[in-house]
Amino acid sequence: MNCEIDWASIDDVLLDMDGTLLDLHYDSTFWLKNVHALVALSTGEPEEQIRARFLKELKKHEGTLTWYCTDYWAKFFGIDLIKAKREVSHLIRFRRHAAEFLEVLKSTSIRTLIATNAHRDVVRMKLEIIPLDQLVDGIVSSHDYGVAKEHPDFWKLLFEKKKIDPSRTFFADDSPKVLDAADKAGIREIVEIRHPNLAEPPRSLWKKGIEDFDLLLPELKKLALQ
Ligand SMILES: [Mg+2]
Region at 197 (left for phi over 0; alpha for psi -120 to 50; beta for the rest): beta
Domain termination residue (choose one: 37, 57, 90): 90
Chain segment 164-200, per-residue pLDDT in tens: 999 999 999 999 999 999 999 999 999 999 999 999 9
**Mean pLDDT of the 62-86 span:** 91
What's this model's pTM, rounded to 2 decimal places? 0.94
**Letter for the amino acid at 97?**
H
Q: Do 117 and 19 have their domain in common?
A: yes
Q: In the 8-state DSSP scheme, what is residue 141?
A: E
User: In the Cβ-directed half-sphere of 161, how many Cα atoms lie within 13 Å?
Assistant: 15
Is 83 part of any domain? yes
Q: Do 40 and 132 have their domain in common?
A: no
Q: Do 212 and 136 have their domain in common?
A: yes
Cβ partners under 8 Å of residue 177, min gap 6? 63, 150
The pLDDT confidence band at residue 1, using thresholds 50, 70 and 90, is: low
Domain that holds residue 74: 26-90
Chain segment 122-153, per-residue pLDDT in tens: 999 999 999 999 999 999 999 999 999 999 99
How much distance in Å is there from the Cα of 80 to the middle of ligand 1?
23
Q: Do 14 and 123 have their domain in common?
A: yes
How much distance in Å is there from the Cα of 10 to the middle of ligand 1?
22
Chain segment 16-51, per-residue pLDDT in tens: 999 999 999 999 999 998 999 999 998 999 999 999
How much distance in Å is there from the Cα of 141 to the middle of ligand 1?
12
Say yes or no to pLDDT of 2 above 60.
no
Integer-rounded Cα radius of gyration of the chain: 18
How much distance in Å is there from the Cα of 43 to the middle of ligand 1?
31
CA dist 63 and 3 (Å) reads: 28
- pLDDT value of position 159: 98
Domain count, the chain: 2
Q: Do 13 and 64 have their domain in common?
A: no
How much distance in Å is there from the Cα of 68 to the middle of ligand 1?
11
Domain termination residue (choose one: 90, 111, 138): 90
Q: Do 47 and 141 have their domain in common?
A: no
Here the CATH number for the domain that contains residue 131 is 3.40.50.1000
Q: Do 153 and 189 have their domain in common?
A: yes
Q: Do 35 and 125 have their domain in common?
A: no
Q: Do 136 and 200 have their domain in common?
A: yes
Chain segment 212-225, per-residue pLDDT in tens: 999 999 999 999 88
Q: Is the dihedral of CA 134, 155, 65, 99 positive or negative?
A: negative
Nearest-10 Cα torsion for 58, 60, 62, 65: -90
